[in-house]
Amino acid sequence: MDLGNLKIDKVAENKAEFCRLLRSTKREGVEYVIEDLEKLGFFEAPASTRFHLCSRGGLVEHSLNVCRAALELLPIMHRMRPDLKDELREDSVILCSLLHDVNKAEIYKPVTKRRRNAANTAWEDYEGYDVDFSNFPMGHGEKSVIVLLLSGLQLKDEEMLAIRWHMAAWDLAFQSPEAKSNINAARDKYPLCGLIQCADTLAANILEHTTPAED
């Protein structure tokens, strides 16, 4: 079996599923977003440099995992809180979960790294990634929102806020009192924020959990 081709097929399969789900929302500007993500290298990028899905195509795989987790949570929330059915819409859940991390599309650069081999008897080279924030260092969730708006995607207020604050307390800006007040206000006003935060955490920490790679 050719594992290289298997990996390529998986990346192509994930890209197709990502685009299918995104188009299912029928939101204005989706085709422009897909074009721009292609140019930015989104579908080839890893999700991280050391932790979850730090491999080619990892970012789109993570985005799909967040979407799947969010869509599993959605009917549970509707059943437990029927009054929120109009606020927690499937199209919004799909958009926010698939697009929350588009800011990462161009920050990872492939490099050759060194590590001890499995027997710990010698050093070996392996292909990994470094991070480069020099191109448009706007931040994390806020950068994703800006990239999407610049692409021409029509986003509702709650969708922008769910993407902006999907990192919750893991966002460094959360350390400021003003940012803390903003994220609390966003979660109080829009249940979508909490749903996307939860789905992202489940995907990264449970569905994709692995032992960190050695440097």
- Does the model's pTM come out above 0.95? no
pLDDT at residue 155, rounded to an integer:
97
pLDDT at residue 211, rounded to an integer:
56
pLDDT at residue 8, rounded to an integer:
66
DSSP 8-state class, residue 140: S
DSSP string, 164-177: HTTTGGGSGGGGSH
CA contacts within 13 A on the Cβ side of 89: 11
pLDDT at residue 40, rounded to an integer:
93
**Do the beta carbons of residue 204 and residue 185 sit within 8 Å?**
no
For the chain, which residues make up each domain, given as ranges?
A: 3-207
**Do the beta carbons of residue 134 and residue 179 sit within 8 Å?**
no
Instruction: Split the chain (215 residues) into runs of 10 and give each run's mean pLDDT.
Output: 55 96 97 96 87 86 97 98 96 98 86 78 77 75 94 97 86 73 90 96 89 46
pLDDT at residue 174, rounded to an integer:
59
Token duo for residue 53: 């899905």
pLDDT at residue 48, rounded to an integer:
81
